[in-house]
Amino acid sequence: MARRLLLTESCWNHINTCYNCQVIIEVTEMLHNASLLIDDIEDSSKLRRGFPVAHSIYGVPSVINSANYVYFLGLEKVLILEHPEAVRVFTRQLLELHRGQGLDIHWRDTYTCPTEQEYRKMVLQKTGGLFGLAVGLMQLFSDWKQDLKPLLDTLGLFFQIRDDYANLSSREYSENKSFCEDLTEGKFSFPTIHAIWSRPESTQVQNILRQRTENMDIKRYCVDYLEKVGSFAYTRQTLRELEIEAYRLIREFGGNPQLESLVKHLSQMHHEAEATAESSCEPPSSQNH
């Protein structure tokens, strides 16, 4: 999915002349994959895309060393670009990525629930770091210097909040990762943050997150609670708003059919969930006897 996004960005009307596009895409992919290796260790994950995580097979020390090695391989490729600003862009975005990850870990390990605004800022640091790296490097080799940050921020929030929603509600996602893995990790994700702040008198979600539980019954109870207090509905509403804003910004910047197609594809999940939720709320049709 990350590669597909990068390819759509590289094909943007004003950036498609970048002769170093392939190198930039490779660098961004390398950093993305290396960060996932580290992320799985920091989150104590068991599965990644349906397969055992790397450190469960090769061990934590080896995977940490390999991921760090790939970071520096990425830097080496950036030097090949031979642009005086390339290393600065690379360093700035990697710093943002690690600052955001640090906040995420801090909240989880200190049982501190962030506000929605704090969460959004953290996401923009983590997800936006890699988006900003790709576009920032591409624009070094383009005459078009349009500020794409509003669009990158919108896409970053959309992808992360969608991922949070899928982790707790998507059957397909639970088959690729352990069921509701974010609950086992004790992670404050978008739906759980909404549930906590919308019902401050209740500590149920905090207590479940604190347990880092693998108990399926407790996880199902938490999912039912999130549905009951409207956290899933609020998350779907937020995704719809971000989707609409993404389309608006894409068209404002001149249009990009590939990127619009990607957003549409990723939006199917919450559209289908919304349709299911609406149909379940409809009263049964009366029948004439």
Q: What is the CATH number of the domain that holds 185?
A: 1.10.600.10
Residue at 180 is within a domain: yes
The tens digit of pLDDT for each residue in 159-214 reads 999 999 999 986 655 554 568 989 999 999 999 999 999 999 999 999 999 999 98
Domain range enclosing 241:
2-264
pLDDT band at 278 (very low <50, low <70, confident <90, very high): confident
Report the Cα 111 to chain-centroid distance in Å: 21
State the DSSP string of 198-225: H-TT--HHHHHHHHT---HHHHHHHHHH
pTM: 0.87
Q: Is residue 285 part of a domain?
A: no
Residue 146 lies in a domain: yes
Between 26 and 14, the more confident residue is 26
Number of compact structural domains in the chain: 1
pLDDT score recorded for residue 209? 97
**287 within a domain of the structure (yes/no):** no
Q: Is residue 181 part of a domain?
A: yes
Please name every residue paired with 51 in a beta bridge, in sequence order, or none if there are none: 48
Residue 194 has what pLDDT?
Answer: 98
Q: What is the helix (H) or strand (E) element at residue 107, kind and residue range?
A: helix 86-109
pLDDT in tens, 254-263: 888 989 999 9
The average pLDDT across 17-42 equals 88
User: Can you tell me the distance from the alpha carbon of 147 to that of 233, in angstroms, rounded to the nearest whole number?
Assistant: 32
Task: Establish if 108 belongs to a structural domain.
Answer: yes
| pLDDT of the residue at 254 | 86
Lowest model confidence (mean pLDDT) among 55-59, 98-102, 271-275? 271-275
Q: What's the CA gap between 130 and 93, in Å, rounded?
A: 7
Q: Is residue 252 part of a domain?
A: yes
Q: List the structure tokens of 287.
A: 């029948």
In a domain, 283, yes or no: no
Tally Cβ neighbours within 10 Å of residue 192.
Answer: 24
Distance (Å, whole) CA 20 – CA 26? 10
